[in-house]
Structure 1
Amino acid sequence: MTRDSTVCQVPKDTLVFIDEAYLDFADDPAKTTCLPLVKRYQNVAVLRTFSKAYGLANVRVGFAVMPVALAAILQKIRLPYNLNTLAQVAAVAALRDQDFVREAAAKNAVERAKWEDFFDQQGVKYFKSQANFIYFTVKNADELSQALLEKGFQVRHHLQPDWLRLTIGPAEDTTVMQALVADWLKQQA
Structure 2
Amino acid sequence: MRYSPNHKLETKEKLLESSSVSAKKSGFATVGVDGLMKAIGLSGGAFYSHFSSKDELFAAIVERELCQSLARLGGHGEQDCARLERCLKHYLSMAHVEQPESGCALPALGAEIARSDILVRQQAEIWICRLQESWARILDSDSLAWAILSQCIGALVVARMLATADIQRTVLQSSQEEIGRQIAGRQQAICK
- TM-score under structure 2 length normalisation: 0.34
Name the one with the larger helix percent.
Answer: 2
TM-score normalized by structure 1?
Answer: 0.35
Higher strand content, 1 or 2: 1
Q: Larger radius of gyration, structure 1 or 2? A: 1
Larger RCO (CA within 8 A; separation ≥ 6): 2
